[in-house]
A and B are shown apart, each in its own frame.
Chain A
Amino acid sequence: MQTGILAGIKHGETVLETRGITKRFPGVLANDHIDFEMKAGEVHAILGENGAGKSTFMNILFGLLQPDEGEIYVAGKKVKFHSPLDAIELGIGMVHQHRKLVSAHTVLENIILGHPNAGRILNLKKTGEEIDALCQRYGFKIDLKAKVWQLSEGEKQVVEILKALYRGAKILILDEPTSALAPPEVDKLLASIEAMTGDELAMIPFITHKLPIVLSTSDRVTILRRGRVTARLETKNATERSLAKDMVGREVVFRLESVEVEKGPLVLEVENLSTRNDKGALALNGVSFSIREGEIFGIAGISGNGQQELAEVLAGLRKAEGGKVMLEGKDITHASSLERWQTGVGYIPAERVDVGSIGDFTLVENVAMNYYFDHEFSRYGVVDYKKMGALTEEIIEEFSVATPSADTVGKNLSGGNLQKLILGRVFSRRPRLLIANLPTQGLDVGAIEFVQNKLIEAKKERAAVLLISEDLDEVLSLSDWVAPIYEGEFMGVIPGKEAEKDSVGAMMAGSRLEEVVA
């Protein structure tokens, strides 16, 4: 294993320090004189909203970006990173939120990729033994011969941690470490963080939302807002509320007001629905549920448990393997996606850039994606772009989409504004069934509130809403019914008012309702 300048570091000594890190992008000051410091064996969390400059700072620490001003010191020595390789060699490792692993390769191949010990001719036996030793030391369990695509999110994270450790990392940057994990996997992660810090490794978790995690794991917190450090404190002196205030700059309401709407007749009935994923494996296994007018039906789950496939099969983008889907009494199991749009299904996809919009289309043409087939907007095969333009202007106005004009192309919009446009486009069709897949993911707080309020509005306007979210708080605060999904099956369906965070969390990890209640 490597010995860098961090090799002999002792508990409590400063391992990493930055002074006055500043980074500008056209029109944005992403990092404004950030000072940061951390010690061996310490967990020092960095907290901030999307757009607060967290990822810029993280990329600077890992050598993916170079700062315009400021200095980085590792073990007291001034250093400069030209690429991640420089950071890796000095003992800094990164555990990415969007796992940087080759899914077609084995765990072992991923860990030794680019490692000097890999050997000209791959030395799988020796490297395998060394990695096994690392696993034993920190209590990781992983099959080195498994292909990465077969692993759960938690296991993939373990692979990333092992990869960094095997490279000799003494400082681990953890990007949103708990974001895709089920609660029991979170517990495992916390235990291994403890084991690693006990071994004098330093951890820098970067966290957006999960304030309780910050409180339970870290020794210190640095909070960023608009590129600046707004607070630096010992975690024991902080509360969830104080952290949120420092992060957002105002008091934050944690729970949305739930709205009571008189329930109407059944809009969607799903019986025993099954479907396969792109790899041909069963992704959704006999799911049954129904939604009434004016209800939000929330599906909580860790990504990859079949919710994406459920949304697609309901939107007509994926074939049902078995079962039945009824919309207002009409069997639409085998209807095409176009027929569904025409009979009152509206779908807001999770992939707003790749699926929900077309970057090279103007906003008018993007709005046309859900309208070109309507008699009102196209007659005898000719599209009425004038009318479409007027509709686009209305949507821009009503959904406060920030754009220079309706003729701008879609790729010029920010994520939040793009989502508002998609939302406006789908909402203005007044769908009977609205499928919203991860509607707030990756948005900033303002946009999240906006989208959530719009979902409540849709409910008031008597639509049936299917909300799919990985954010447990969001599901619990918005939904009339909560269905935790695990490996393609509902673990139970609970009335929103009775849903408790602990029990839903356990169900997301595979416990059935009966087990949780008992």
Chain B
Amino acid sequence: MAVDKDTVAKIAKLARIRVEPEQQEALTQELSNILRWVEHLGELDTDGVEPMTSVVEMNLKMREDEVADGRRQNDIVANAPESKHGFFVVPRVVE
């Protein structure tokens, strides 16, 4: 199925990627082409087939309830573009 410009705008918003108006047309075309191509899958009958959740046949690994990390505030904020007093800082969020 082809997507239209509005749909592209909507998913770009969901993905938090700004798309400039002049890019919209080309992007819509590209995404439509890709979607049309992957739609070959529709030809294949998958009735009653379980969707794959994991390719490895094993049980979920679990850890014991032990504190073995944290207490490394410096490591955590060291790469932050903006931080103060150990907090990450972003433009004011309006609640």
Chains A and B form a bound pair: no
Q: Which residues of B contact A (CB under 8 A)?
A: none
Residues of A at the B interface (CB closer than 8 Å) are: none
